[in-house]
Structure 1
């Protein structure tokens, strides 16, 4: 995992499936657990789903809060 992946979790939308259009960081835990059981897809989406699953499974969703708040205000120069 790289730090850029965390930013992608709060900006990238799920491209397909039951939760299409939802921000990856907002996907419910049961949906992430389903992927963990059935297998994560290949590529970037699969990698992000796997990271989000680990964050959710370990009850670490609050780690994404500062990234979300940075999106609502301009970055300092």
Structure 2
């Protein structure tokens, strides 16, 4: 995340409560908004295990 309370946090590590708040406020335009919206949909549908698997495979972190 490039700004705000969660600056320098990976989008997949942002809490769902913050993503819900941003969803209500409106995601920013452009690529960042699209990525935030995608992470929000993944997390709100309970399939965030996908994010953890990708993060582990390509980021080397759990």
Which range, TM-score by smaller chain?
0.7 to 0.9
**Shift in Å at residue 70 of structure 1?**
1.7
**Shift in Å at residue 23 of structure 1?**
0.4
Residues 38-67 of structure 1, C-alpha deviation per residue, up to 9 Å, x if partnerless? 101001110010001101110111012221
Q: Which runs of 5 or more residues in structure 1 are unaligned?
A: 1-13, 73-77
Partner residue in 2 for 1:52:
39
Q: Which runs of 5 or more residues in structure 2 are unaligned?
A: none
- Structure 1 stretches of 4+ moved >2 Å: none
Give, in whole Å, the separation in 2 of the partners of 1:49 and 1:69.
20
Q: Which of 47, 50, 56 is residue 63 of structure 1 equivalent to?
A: 50
Give the TM-score, by structure 2 length: 0.87
1:4-19 equivalent positions in 2, closer than 5 A:
14-19=1-6
Q: Which of 11, 14, 19 is residue 27 of structure 1 equivalent to?
A: 14
The higher radius of gyration belongs to: 1
Partner residue in 2 for 1:36:
23
